[in-house]
Structure 1
Amino acid sequence: MAVTQEQLAQRSGNQCELCKAEDGLAVYDVPQSEGYPNASVLLCQTCRDQLENPAQLDSAHWQCLSESMWSTEPAIQVLAWRILKRLSGETWAQDLFDMLYLDGDLLAWAEAGVIPEAGELVIHRDSHGVQLQAGDNVVIIKDLDVKGSSLVAKRGTAVRGISLTDNPEHIEGRVEGQRIVILTKFVKKSG
Structure 2
Amino acid sequence: MSIVTEKRLRDRSGNTCEISGVDENLVVYVVEPKTEAIPENCILIAQSLKEQIENKELMNPNDWRGLSDSMWNENLPVQIVSWRMLARLKNHDLLDMMYLDEDALEWAKATGEDEDEEGKIIHKDSNGNILQDGDSVVLIKDLDVKGANFTAKRGAAVHNIKLVWDNAEQIEGRVENQHIVILTQYVKKTK
SS at match of 2:82: helix
2:36 and 2:102 map into 1 onto residues whose CA distance is 15
AA aligned opposite 2:52: Q
Segments of 4+ in structure 1 off by > 3 A? 34-37, 114-117
Task: Describe the superposition over 1:1-33 as per-residue Cα deviations: whole angstroms up to 9, x where unpaired.
Answer: x66111100000000011001000111101112
Query: So what's the TM-score if we normalise by structure 2?
Result: 0.55
Contact 1:41 1:76 in 2 (8 A): yes
Q: Taking structure 1 as reference, are residues 25 and 36 closer, same or farther at Cα in structure 2, changes over 3 Å only?
A: closer
Aligned partner (choices 64, 67, 71) of residue 66 of structure 2: 64
2:17 and 2:37 map into 1 onto residues whose CA distance is 21
Partner of 2:43: 41
SS at match of 1:20: coil
2:96 matches 1:98: yes
Task: Describe the superposition over 1:108-154 as per-residue Cα deviations: whole angstroms up to 9, x where unpaired.
Answer: 1111124376x79xxxxxxxxxxxxxxxxxxxxxxxxxxxxxxxxxx
In the alignment of these two chains, the number of paired residues is 115
2:97 and 2:15 map into 1 onto residues whose CA distance is 27
Partner of 2:148: none
SS at match of 2:29: strand
Q: Which consecutive unaligned segments of at least 5 residues does structure 1 have? A: 121-191
AA aligned opposite 1:109: W
Aligned partner (choices 91, 110, 126) of residue 112 of structure 1: 110
Contact 2:5 2:37 in 1 (8 A): no
- Identity of aligned pairs, percent? 37
2:13 and 2:37 map into 1 onto residues whose CA distance is 20
1:105 and 1:111 map into 2 onto residues whose CA distance is 10
Partner of 2:170: none
Contact 2:71 2:82 in 1 (8 A): yes
SS at match of 2:113: coil
Q: Taking structure 1 as reference, are residues 84 and 114 closer, same or farther at Cα in structure 2, changes over 3 Å only?
A: farther
Query: So what's the TM-score if we normalise by structure 1?
Result: 0.55
Q: Taking structure 1 as reference, are residues 34 and 49 closer, same or farther at Cα in structure 2, changes over 3 Å only?
A: closer
2:112 and 2:72 map into 1 onto residues whose CA distance is 19
Q: CA deviation at 1:36?
A: 11
Q: Taking structure 1 as reference, are residues 36 and 110 closer, same or farther at Cα in structure 2, changes over 3 Å only?
A: farther
Q: Which consecutive unaligned segments of at least 5 residues does structure 2 have? A: 120-191
SS at match of 1:28: strand
RMSD of equivalent CA atoms: 2.5
SS at match of 2:60: coil
Partner of 1:128: none
1:94 and 1:28 map into 2 onto residues whose CA distance is 25
1:27 and 1:74 map into 2 onto residues whose CA distance is 15
Contact 1:71 1:77 in 2 (8 A): yes
Of 68-77 and 51-60, the range deviating more from structure 2: 51-60
Partner of 2:160: none
